Structure 1
């Protein structure tokens, strides 16, 4: 027992001295000074919210087509004896201009025969009138009153009258056929194609070519229901002088140059497309080869164009940078005097590449943050930096020159420069 105590005693004494020494050293060590300064905030870029006007618009595309287009076809048969020089692919034609003429000799002979038949029918009617008058007198001389219509020659007279009417109708029909030997243009237009030449035998209804009107062209523009609502267009819209349609700006490259034409929405389609769930809006451009052309460049049928339909103009809306929109309805506002982040719920009217347009949720002059922020929360510490028009960067808040330079160097780039906003 004595031997065990002799071994443990030195160990316990050394342990006591070591623990006591550590406690004594810690007790004599001075306490570190506490830093009362708040933690530095995240450096972010921001742009001011401004007030302005907004013209609601919808962008879509479509193919130009003529409003009026017909197949040129004869109503009678015969050999083609004339084709107008303008009746070629791309040619301009005028209303009433003869495009194709069919040989008329047979129809001219038919008119001669028809006129002869009319003369014979007139002579027969005159003879029947005379004989009917003689029969009436004979019956009066005989004192006969109760006689048959045949004795008074009434059926013979009616037959002669009918024969004359039939002969005259035949003459009119032959004259009409003769007039139809000339195929004329029903409107001013251009020739899309020609399928006939001199010497060819034409038959009724045969396609000799196609022409389309140059007075108006139209473009079918498919729109979604939300886009119709943005333009305030009902499903059964039809433009009128009292209720004109929205303005449409068409653009396309023609001849290697950008071209612009201005038209108008005239009506909406009759039904919703069952496959795309969209409805067609028909826009028109008047005189596309004349006054409606862009410096001589027409909006020709077959051209694929971009279209921007302009709706109503909203005044006094708030405009924030597009990069400041977070999700569908949130905006990050920097409070530079407080160095805090304010997360706002906003009512977005419309958004595009140029900005976010809203009715409420911010005030003109407030700074909308465009830099990405990870794990944001309301009241977060931030340092707001604003890029000025002259290219310099303004650091908001009470910062020294050194702190401002450090903030600029460590600032997060705006989301439109670095990526999508967080």
Structure 2
């Protein structure tokens, strides 16, 4: 009987204990909510904005190449007798230095023969002029009908004059051939390739070497369409900075010389030509800039008015955050003209003295009240 009574009371006891625990938990939660402190406003760093004029810097890349490349050939035939010590691949030779010489005895003999032929022709001309003078004096005693050009020896004089001209031309050719036995550098040059050796017989017109002119180098740099609108009105002779990165960074100064005048059909880009004087620093103390180097080229383009130059991390989908006059977060849609390295150039959507948020909250909401930590100086433009 007692067991039966306990069986009926046990559920009631369990329910009472559960209700008591629930009441205790509820009262503790209510006390916790009542004592929870109010949320404090977010603190953000801001900087007042100042617009300024900005010179666009255009950057491109290209390869350093010689302005002039010469495929050197022999102008006379003969055996190679000697060559200059620097006339090797990679050697540098000065303008006028003898690169190599060809056996010249036959050409010297040809000069002597031409000189002799000229002397004979000149003697024959003197003789014909004398005979013509005698005929002219005798013609004064004859009737005019008997005096002809043949009698006055005019054809003979003309023939003798022609022989003198022919002999003179032959002498000049022989002298030129003799001079061409010494092949000289046409300019200060880098020897790219040499194809002859001592004792080798070469024919006239044989290619013997490849030379690069060291006076100037040029760099063809492509300009994308979005950069072309920022090119200066007159970019001829605009100074450009040429940079070659490496273990040792080399910086040289060049000039924009010309536009190639065509748009590449594959890339739709135009190209400018940058000229660098004395690339191998033969007459200066500059660092050499070798042909084939891949370089970066920077130059100043158009000057933009009233520009805000902001770090890229502050511009998200053409939007930045400012703090309005009520100390509330406010998004601004801006117009981004172009990106320059880690900065964005903005010309619309902001005004001077706007308080730009530098530390944007993770989930910013329009109208959120914030506390300000103002930088002493405006954001550097």
TM range (shorter): 0.7 to 0.9
Residue 265 of structure 2 corresponds to 274
Q: CA 1:339–1:47 in 2, change beyond 3 Å: closer, same or farther?
A: closer
In the TM superposition, 1:11-410 aligns within 5 A as 43=42, 47-51=46-50, 52=52, 54-233=54-233, 239=236, 244-245=237-238, 247-254=239-246, 256-290=247-281, 297-314=287-304, 317-328=307-318, 330-335=319-324, 338-360=326-348, 361-364=350-353, 366-368=355-357, 371=360, 379-383=366-370
Between the aligned partners of 2:80 and 2:216, the Cα distance in structure 1 is 31
Q: Give the secondary-structure state (helix, strand or coil) at the position aligned to 1:208.
A: strand
Between the aligned partners of 2:291 and 2:226, the Cα distance in structure 1 is 29
Q: Which runs of 5+ in 2 are unaligned?
A: 1-29, 377-381
Cα distance per residue 1:333-352 (max 9 Å; x no partner)? 133x6342322233434333
**C-alpha deviation, 1:248, in angstroms:** 2.0
Runs of 4+ in structure 1 off by over 4 angstroms are: 39-47, 312-316, 384-389
**C-alpha deviation, 1:388, in angstroms:** 6.8
Root-mean-square deviation (Å): 3.1
Q: CA 1:41–1:223 in 2, change beyond 3 Å: closer, same or farther?
A: farther
Between the aligned partners of 1:333 and 1:385, the Cα distance in structure 2 is 11
Cα distance per residue 1:260-307 (max 9 Å; x no partner)? 2222211111211111111111112222222898x8641110011122
Q: Residue 326 of structure 1 contacts residue 332 of structure 1 at CA under 8 Å; is this kept in 2?
A: no
Normalised to the residue count of structure 2, the TM-score between the two structures is 0.78
Residue 23 of structure 2 corresponds to none
Q: Which runs of 5+ in 1 are unaligned?
A: 1-31, 390-422
Between the aligned partners of 2:91 and 2:282, the Cα distance in structure 1 is 19
Q: CA 1:41–1:101 in 2, change beyond 3 Å: closer, same or farther?
A: farther
Q: Residue 322 of structure 2 contacts residue 354 of structure 2 at CA under 8 Å; is this kept in 1?
A: no
**C-alpha deviation, 1:190, in angstroms:** 2.0
Q: Residue 139 of structure 1 contacts residue 145 of structure 1 at CA under 8 Å; is this kept in 2?
A: no
Between the aligned partners of 1:199 and 1:385, the Cα distance in structure 2 is 87
Between the aligned partners of 2:254 and 2:353, the Cα distance in structure 1 is 36
**C-alpha deviation, 1:65, in angstroms:** 0.5
Q: CA 1:123–1:45 in 2, change beyond 3 Å: closer, same or farther?
A: same
Q: CA 1:202–1:227 in 2, change beyond 3 Å: closer, same or farther?
A: same
Range moving further from structure 2, 94-103 or 144-153: 144-153
Between the aligned partners of 2:49 and 2:279, the Cα distance in structure 1 is 40
Between the aligned partners of 1:146 and 1:386, the Cα distance in structure 2 is 123
Cα distance per residue 1:204-241 (max 9 Å; x no partner)? 3322212222222111100013312212256xx5x3xx
Q: Give the secondary-structure state (helix, strand or coil) at the position aligned to 1:60.
A: strand
Q: Residue 49 of structure 1 contacts residue 321 of structure 1 at CA under 8 Å; is this kept in 2?
A: no
Q: Give the secondary-structure state (helix, strand or coil) at the position aligned to 2:74.
A: coil
Q: Give the secondary-structure state (helix, strand or coil) at the position aligned to 1:362.
A: coil
Q: Residue 50 of structure 1 contacts residue 320 of structure 1 at CA under 8 Å; is this kept in 2?
A: no
* Count of residues in correspondence between the two structures: 339
Q: Give the secondary-structure state (helix, strand or coil) at the position aligned to 2:140.
A: helix
Cα distance per residue 1:348-384 (max 9 Å; x no partner)? 343334322333413246123553766x77x432536
Q: Give the secondary-structure state (helix, strand or coil) at the position aligned to 1:226.
A: helix
Q: Give the secondary-structure state (helix, strand or coil) at the position aligned to 2:197.
A: coil
Q: Which structure is higher in RCO with an 8 Å CA cutoff and minimum separation 6? A: 2
Between the aligned partners of 1:221 and 1:357, the Cα distance in structure 2 is 23
Between the aligned partners of 2:75 and 2:66, the Cα distance in structure 1 is 24
**C-alpha deviation, 1:158, in angstroms:** 0.8
